[in-house]
């Protein structure tokens, strides 16, 4: 089963990387890669759509907004190479879902267990704001990931990811309440066989202002682990080797 999932996800990743549906985003991601940030002037930017990555048997789907201009758009892996990723992967490592606390390049040895990381839009957008039309064009990729992985939990990092997931689930035929449930940090919504959790996006805007602190993200991720593991705790959520980690997961508490 895992081989089949891995194969389907590899096919999907190739389709994502070759996607050219959003001309505005193509121009932007390529321009960012040509102009570069001074600190990365000697690097070759990825400058293409960035596919999801992680455990093909994941029961937790983690959905961000879009690749960072000088992070994933540079390195070619979501949340890799910028401050948002530093914050996110440190948290994933603390709760046992990532083999290491850092994510610096596609070949840095990072392994995810039980979690698959993706985004509402797979191209870096100007001002971190994909348009509704761009999000709609990218939604089929999220739908495919939902179909292949059939996750038990989806963690939406921010309101745009939350809305993207609700829209995708509605397209699968799931009955999504109207008006649509609002995003909040710690929000929890059961839809069919899936539980949707909300967490603030680990953007610098949120982390520098301490709107989001590490313990808050850890708590949501531990809640996701508890839900995902409730069907068969031993199957996919064996924690990564955290021999370099100082933290051990605390008892799960329901996010407020």
Q: Which residues bind ligand SF4 (CB under 6 A)?
A: 16, 19-22, 25, 49, 121-123, 134, 137-138
Q: Which is nearer to ligand SF4, 153 or 157 (CB)?
A: 157
Q: Which is nearer to ligand SF4, 130 or 255 (CB)?
A: 130
Q: Which is nearer to ligand SF4, 27 or 254 (CB)?
A: 27
Q: Which is nearer to ligand SF4, 124 or 191 (CB)?
A: 124
Q: Nearest distance from residue 119's CB to ligand SF4, in Å?
A: 9
> Before 179, cis peptide (omega within 30)?
yes
Q: Nearest distance from residue 141's CB to ligand SF4, in Å?
A: 6
């Amino acid at each position: 089963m895992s081989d089949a999932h891995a194969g389907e996800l590899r096919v999907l990743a190739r389709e994502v990387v070759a996607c050219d549906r959003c001309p505005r985003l193509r121009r932007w991601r390529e321009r960012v890669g040509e102009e570069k940030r001074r600190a990365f002037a000697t690097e070759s930017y990825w400058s293409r759509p960035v596919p999801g990555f992680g455990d093909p048997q994941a029961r937790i789907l983690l959905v961000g907004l879009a690749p960072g201009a000088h992070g994933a758009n540079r390195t070619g892996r979501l949340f890799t190479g910028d401050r948002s990723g530093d914050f996110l992967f440190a948290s994933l490592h603390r709760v046992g879902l990532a083999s290491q606390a850092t994510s610096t390049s596609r070949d840095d040895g990072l392994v995810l267990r039980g979690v698959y990381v993706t985004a509402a839009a797979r191209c870096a957008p100007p001002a971190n704001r994909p348009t509704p039309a761009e999000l709609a064009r990218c939604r089929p990729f999220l739908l495919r990931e939902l179909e292949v992985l059939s996750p038990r939990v989806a963690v939406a990092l921010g309101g745009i990811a939350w809305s993207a997931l609700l829209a995708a689930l509605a397209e699968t035929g799931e009955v999504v309440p109207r008006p649509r449930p609002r995003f909040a940090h710690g929000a929890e919504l059961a839809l069919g066989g899936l539980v949707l959790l909300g967490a603030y996006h680990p953007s610098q805007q949120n982390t520098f202002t301490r709107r989001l602190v590490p313990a808050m993200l850890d708590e949501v991720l531990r809640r996701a682990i508890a839900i995902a593991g409730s069907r068969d705790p031993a199957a996919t959520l064996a924690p990564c080797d955290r021999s370099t980690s100082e933290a051990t997961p605390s008892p799960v508490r329901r996010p407020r």
